[in-house]
Chain A
Amino acid sequence: MKKIRNLFAAARLKQEFANRRNKLYRVAFSWCHNTSLADDLVQETMLKAMKNADSLRNPATLDTWLYRILLNNWHDYLRVQGRNTELYDVSDENQPGHDDSYQQSQIVGRVRASVQRLPMSLREVVTLADFAGFSYAEIAEIVDIPIGTVMSRLYRARQNLKEQLLDLADEGKLPVRLMRVK
């Protein structure tokens, strides 16, 4: 009976991981701006998560636990590459897909380029907050830094992005009309 329960628990956990996979991938992409690398990072995260599922004591913390593994994988990669700062070289994968409208692509491209110019420590925090939607406490847990540091990094990241993006908007270089709901 216990074995059956364990089997069901494992299947459920696997499904929980799978449900989060796309979001993990997009967060990984927001850090590295490289589709293959983001894919590798997520694959590695999934493997580690399955292997170490026993260490997840509280299912309510599944998200922070998974993103912490993802972040550790990313940092491991940077360490191996010797690129532990913001100088990660990225190709034109920064641009959105061809299916997007021109104006929409421009906005997305501008924002991604601005995020990419942020120092890595700021980039990680701002995407965890603004894209993944984590609270400050959760980000502190994922990145393993005090909440005060989360606040200051988020402040610096948004100041930096504000200067880059709102200046463009004022100069009229950034199209403000994206698209309309049909």
Chain B
Amino acid sequence: MSDETYTDEQLNLFIDDQLDTDEKDAIRHAVLEDASIRERVCQLKAVRELVGYAYENVPVTDSIASERSQRQRNYLWKGVAAGLMLAVGMFAGWVVNDVARTTQIASAEDVFQYYKSATQADRAERKIILHVTTGDIYAVKSALDEAEQLLASYRDAGTPMKLDIVTYKQGINMLRVGSSPYVDRIEGIIENNANVSLYACMHSIDKAEQKEGKPIVMMDKAVTNKSAQELISERLQKGWIYIKV
């Protein structure tokens, strides 16, 4: 397939999810097949990620902050209980925002890392975490496409790699026996690639079991005795590349 098959305008539409399913599938296939198209997609994604990253932490100005404080003070009449809930909520929000910020940073960084890795094609082993946090069937399919794409591109380049698929929250559903439509496909990936490991966050499993009131069954190959946060933190500290789906 020629690199010129798709224009950058079409690839922009692809990364911005503005194409219909058939067109999207065609380009996804091209991305899997053609390293140069893959690289162009990666570059466009890198630009998009960096622009998003560059402005997400612009500090709010005093007037905005003070107005927010004023709004918060106005709520105090609602009583101590409400105040306590607000404080808990604000703390939770801070934690969530902080996680989102670090995730975004890692993501922007790693698109660059991935781009550089693909172009430099050195022989050092690549270690990649694919973090799946959603049970959305389309997103899970994308995650598996992404995994296969990564495996194929590194195999073709003769570069050793290790891929850990870490599922969290609704993402654990992709590894659930009896409910995930992708169990067979994932089994196939594992059988054909000894360098791929599966993880389901133990906290997410606990929560799902509490919610459903019954044990849930995960794929045999899935490791289920660690939290996703713990797994990802460990790996990032060791220099793994992080990709969030």
Contacts and interface: CB of A to CB of B under 8 A. Distances in A.
B196 interface: no
A159 interface: yes
Contacts of A42: 64
Nearest to B51: A130
A154 B12 contact: yes
Contacts of A165: 46-47, 50
A179 B57 CA distance: 15
Contact of B55 (A29, A155, A174): A29
Given A108-B54, A176-B109, A18 B71 contact: yes
A142 interface: no
A70 interface: no
A26 B109 contact: no
B61 A178 contact: no
Contact of B12 (A111, A155, A177, A178): A155
A136 B233 CA distance: 36
Contacts of A174: 112
A111 B53 contact: yes
Interface string A42-80: 110000000000000000000000000000000000000
A143 interface: no
Nearest to B232: A181
A161 interface: yes
Given A26-B58, A169-B115, A115 B71 contact: no
B8 A159 contact: yes
B8 A176 contact: no
Contacts of B13: 151
Counting chain B CB atoms within 10 Å of each CB, the highest count among A30, A100, A158, A169 belongs to: A158
B52 A130 contact: yes
A25 B16 contact: no
B74 to A, nearest CB: 11
Contact of A162 (B44, B49, B57): B44
Contacts of A181: 102-103, 106, 232-233, 236-237
A149 to B, nearest CB: 12
A62 B121 CA distance: 47
Given A25-B61, A25-B64, 14 more contacts: A21-B68, A100-B57, A104-B105, A111-B50, A133-B52, A155-B8, A158-B12, A159-B8, A161-B50, A166-B46, A174-B112, A176-B113, A178-B109, A179-B102
18 contacts: A22-B64, A29-B58, A30-B55, A100-B57, A107-B108, A111-B51, A115-B51, A129-B48, A152-B9, A154-B12, A159-B8, A162-B47, A166-B43, A176-B113, A179-B102, A179-B105, A181-B236, A182-B233
Interface of B: 8-9, 12-13, 16, 18, 43-44, 46-61, 63-64, 67-68, 71, 102-103, 105-106, 108-109, 112-113, 115-116, 119, 232-233, 236-237
